[in-house]
A and B are shown apart, each in its own frame.
Chain A
Amino acid sequence: MQADLIVACILLVVAFGTCILVPLFWPLDPVRGVFSATFKPPMSFAGGHLHPLGTDQLGRDLLARLGLGTAISLGIVFVASVISAVLGTVLGMIAGYFGGWVDALIMRLVDMQLAIPFILLILLIVAVIGPSLMNLIVVLGITGWAIYARVARARTLEVRELEYIESARAIGQRKLFILFRHVLPNILVPQTVLLTLDLPRLIILEASVGFLGLGVQPPTPTLGGLIGEGRSFMLIANWLVLYPGLMIAALVIACNLLGDWLVRRNDLREL
């Protein structure tokens, strides 16, 4: 459906517009507080500036923070997804192609990974190694590989029986070469679509970790961190939670619509 695509595009334009244009051109500082201008509601003037989305507990402009926060969150989520996707795809291909005990081992790891609620695992690890931007990316990246591995493995199992791969094997090409030269291109598209479908999960996960106060350290804003900080003030300044929440919703809806569209277009119903 074309309408889905249009909605997704509009939402993405809004989100990306905010996270690119605001940090570049919006004059107000996302980090530095003006202590005399705390909790100004949206569209109010304070200190000679208009605050379209209001200010927070330290008098910082929410639009400036939302712009930077969205950029940082998307950065975290993208990098983490790529780590997950690469890790999962490689392990999945290996499992599918080699079979046997390698397959069994990797698939048990997948089960294990899926058997601990993500959020619990992430809390545990962040509590151990301490919260920071890098740690968060690594933890989100490492804990998300399992789905990619499952799909990559299933796809590899199909692909390896294809004629030209059999013939590549027959002429004695090295296994790893076959894997990356012939198998990988075949599963690249479904893995990319899977990534699009998995992004919403990560966006919400990152927000949840931030909500529990274990995300990126202040004063750096992230979508999750903004809601996490804002919730303490939610009863008197609901905009602090409202707008970051809407941004999350917009991103998730856009990814879902886009993902579904990609699934239909590439005929990948098994995802």
Chain B
Amino acid sequence: MKVSAAFALTVALVATAPAAWSQEAKDQLVIARAAGTTAMDPGFLRESATIVDNIFDTMVERDSQMKLEPGLALSWKSINPTTWEFKLRPGVKFTDGEPVNAEAVKFSLDRVLNPDNHAPTISYIRTISKVEVVDPMTVRITTSGPDPLLPTRMSRYPAYIVPPKYLKEHGRDYFASHPVGSGPYELEKFVPGQSVELKANDDYWRGAPSIKTVTFKTIPDATARTTALLNGEADIIEDLPVNLVPMVQASPNDQVVDVKNGGLTIYLGLVMSQKPLDNLKVRQALNMAIDRKTIVNDILHGMATVSGTQVGKFDFGYTDIPAPKYDPAAAKKLLAEAGYPNGFTITLESTHRYLNDDAVATAIAQMFGDIGVKVKQKVLDWSVYLQEVPRKGPIFMLGWGSTQTLDADAAIYPIMHSGEPYSTASIPELDKLLDKSRKIVDPSKRAEVLKQVQELAAKDVPLITLYQQDAVYGKAKDVVFSGRADARIPVYTIKKQ
């Protein structure tokens, strides 16, 4: 009797809550993400820019083909190797009414460059030595040396343009939770770590967006996030785990968005200062011992591309280098030649951050085992991992990419040049080539040097490139969204049918 009462109560509870979570309106969008949003000051971000990207504009933007296109700047040109001039788009206003002008640009960049402000991402625009206002609609940027990538740097954080008057009035702390920009959306409601609700800026300079309200929800657990999509609680989810792809495909209302080469390039870092990784033959042997095709096909279900270079397909300077052939017998022979006929024992560190990374690390450990290299696996939390990675290892799994710049330089220099914080390689010849590539402004000559870098890296194995991940999203069928190579989600371009 009591049991049925309890059951009746539960049923009543469920029944009184109508399907409030299912999205019906055509001008509303819910995006579920793994990471929570903590602060939205675009100059001081410590997380991905997915949300601020919809609130703020940059001077330069990228179209869906990743070509630079005018944003808040109508045009830009290089006056001399160290000076760039940007002409701003007239008539654009921040949502608080302030005009977007040269003063605002100078203010936005200067506050990031000011060392007293400790901007976490200052390094992305560190080459800038001076920002000058020429006239209200013209800005001149001087770099400390020739910087061919400056326009690219102006297309990403921390180079978002912010309203100076508003910021001076309210201060940075307030701004971080009450951001005001000139972008297609403005903040409606912010619950730290839980959700961010944006509403359309109908005065947006490109025209009013068709989605009127967009909610970014935080659901860290991948299973729960996928469930939210399948259950109709979310329209788009980021980081759909590869194993759940078949489920989303089988769902009548949902689709998978698989952006080929949209993600990071995963590699095994080798701490070359430690034995036996200082030995070229050992590195080559390990490189050949990995069956990349099996990993990509069976463990990643095809959601990655086997690659022989760290540089992504869309990056400037990309050279098509075939991945090393899987040949355990040859690898064993190389090990014997290197003086390790019976192999050795080594630690492989990995973390939870990439597509099916646990399974991949375990599979690699097994493949190394096949050539006699015994692997001790260590799976660490990301924050701990970040501290250990550049020093410990001696083998660690990491993802790297150039999404900030879409240029080979960012994809290889920081992880292959000796002495860089994230590099554990030390190959003098490679350093020389990398240094050379940074001093050349002429694009075709630069591309040639970058090609040499990649060829040398394939031969000398400063690290073991595995594959480039896809960016995998799940979305409801009625949402028009195809994903972008730079991982942005410009809600402005999304429509609901």
Q: Contact flags (1/0) for B356-367 with A, using CB distance below 8 Å?
A: 101101110110
B384 and A236 contact, CB distance less than 8 A: no
**Residues of chain A lying within 8 A (CB to CB) of residue B294:** 35
A127 and B381 contact, CB distance less than 8 A: yes
Known: A127-B384, A130-B384. A217 touches B379 (CB 8 A): yes
**Residues of chain A lying within 8 A (CB to CB) of residue B222:** 232
**Residues of chain A lying within 8 A (CB to CB) of residue B241:** 232
A1-55 residues with Cβ-Cβ distance < 8 A to B are 31-33, 35-36, 38-39
How far is A217 from B226 in the complex, measured between Cα atoms in Å? 26
| A268 interface hit (Cβ, 8 Å) | no
A232 and B223 contact, CB distance less than 8 A: yes
Q: Contact flags (1/0) for A193-237 with B, using CB distance below 8 Å?
A: 000000000000000000001100111000000000101111111
B356 and A57 contact, CB distance less than 8 A: yes
Q: Contact flags (1/0) for B337-374 with A, using CB distance below 8 Å?
A: 00000000000000010001011011101100000000
**Residues of chain B lying within 8 A (CB to CB) of residue A235:** 223, 226-227, 244, 247
A218-271 residues with Cβ-Cβ distance < 8 A to B are 218-219, 229, 231-237
B379 and A130 contact, CB distance less than 8 A: no
| B126 interface hit (Cβ, 8 Å) | no
Contact partner of A218 (CB less than 8 A), chosen from B223, B298, B377, is B377
A232 and B384 contact, CB distance less than 8 A: no
| B246 interface hit (Cβ, 8 Å) | yes
**Residues of chain B lying within 8 A (CB to CB) of residue A59:** 298
How far is A122 from B226 in the complex, measured between Cα atoms in Å? 29
**Residues of chain A lying within 8 A (CB to CB) of residue B359:** 57-58
Closest chain-B Cβ to A119's Cβ sits at a distance in Å of: 15
**Residues of chain B lying within 8 A (CB to CB) of residue A236:** 243-244, 246-247
Contact partner of B299 (CB less than 8 A), chosen from A38, A214, A229, A237, is A38
A233 and B243 contact, CB distance less than 8 A: yes
How far is A232 from B245 in the complex, measured between Cα atoms in Å? 12
Closest chain-A Cβ to B410's Cβ sits at a distance in Å of: 30
Q: Across the two chains, which residue of chain A brings its CB closest to B245?
A: A236
Q: Contact flags (1/0) for B240-280 with A, using CB distance below 8 Å?
A: 01011011000000000000000000000000000000000
Interface of B is mostly: helix
Closest chain-A Cβ to B450's Cβ sits at a distance in Å of: 34
**Residues of chain B lying within 8 A (CB to CB) of residue A39:** 243
Closest chain-B Cβ to A221's Cβ sits at a distance in Å of: 11
How far is A93 from B154 in the complex, measured between Cα atoms in Å? 69
How far is A131 from B226 in the complex, measured between Cα atoms in Å? 28
A218 and B358 contact, CB distance less than 8 A: yes
How many contacts between A and B, using CB within 8 angstroms? 67
Q: Contact flags (1/0) for B285-304 with A, using CB distance below 8 Å?
A: 00000000011001100000
B377-402 residues with Cβ-Cβ distance < 8 A to A are 377-381, 383-384
**Residues of chain B lying within 8 A (CB to CB) of residue A232:** 222-223, 241, 243
Closest chain-A Cβ to B348's Cβ sits at a distance in Å of: 10
Q: Across the two chains, which residue of chain B brings its CB closest to A229?
A: B358
Contact partner of A219 (CB less than 8 A), chosen from B243, B365, B381, is B365
Closest chain-B Cβ to A28's Cβ sits at a distance in Å of: 15
A35 and B384 contact, CB distance less than 8 A: no
Q: Across the two chains, which residue of chain B brings its CB closest to A56?
A: B359
Q: Across the two chains, which residue of chain B brings its CB closest to A31?
A: B366
B244 and A218 contact, CB distance less than 8 A: no
B362 and A218 contact, CB distance less than 8 A: yes
9 nearest CB pairs, A to B? A35-B298, A57-B359, A219-B362, A233-B243, A35-B294, A217-B377, A218-B362, A235-B247, A218-B377
Q: Name 17 extra pairs, CB < 8 A, besides A35-B299, A57-B299, A229-B358.
A: A32-B366, A33-B362, A33-B363, A33-B366, A38-B298, A38-B299, A58-B359, A58-B362, A130-B378, A131-B379, A213-B381, A219-B362, A231-B223, A232-B243, A235-B226, A235-B247, A236-B246
What are 23 of the A-B contact pairs (CB < 8 Å)? Answer: A33-B362, A33-B366, A35-B299, A36-B298, A39-B243, A57-B359, A59-B298, A127-B384, A130-B378, A130-B380, A131-B379, A217-B376, A217-B377, A218-B361, A219-B362, A219-B366, A219-B377, A232-B223, A232-B241, A232-B243, A233-B243, A233-B244, A236-B244
